[in-house]
A = this chain, B = another copy of it.
Amino acid sequence: MEKTIIELENAAQTLKLLGDKTRLTILGLVKDGECCVCEFVEVLQMSQPSISQHLRKLRDAGLVKEQRRGQWIFYSLNTSHTTYPIVQQILEQIPDQKEKLRALEDAGLRIQCC
């Protein structure tokens, strides 16, 4: 893998954002493809405003992109961000979060949009 050197200050800012269980889970979820907000709310069992604020931080930092599609807003990894290489490597080393979505699905609890 190509070795990328990232400015320490930028790296620290990104790591700070990843250093939160909620946000790290969110990134783990979008690793394999876009998710809509309601999925985060369901999987993380947190209030919608709280999720929304975490998403804003990730978006403001440029780590994720948002795309509105009708009533729903989908988030995905911004793979062109300077610190994406770091993010990517970290996400490879944590458990697959998609399991949680599948678990919900299997339990028939995916009653919402997605």
Interface residues of A toward B: which range?
20 to 34
In angstroms, Cα B6 to Cα A11, docked, is: 20
A31 to chain B, nearest CB (A): 12
Asked if A68 is at the interface (CB within 8 A of a chain B CB), the reply is: no
**Dominant secondary structure at the A interface:** helix
- List A residues 66-102 near B (Cβ within 8 Å): 85-86, 89-90, 92-95, 97
Question: Is B95's CB under 8 angstroms from A86's CB?
Answer: no
- Please, what's the 1-or-0 string for A1-36, where 1 marks a CB less than 8 Å from any CB in chain B? 001111111011111111111001100100000000
Interface residues of A (CB under 8 A from B): 3-9, 11-21, 24-25, 28, 85-86, 89-90, 92-95, 97
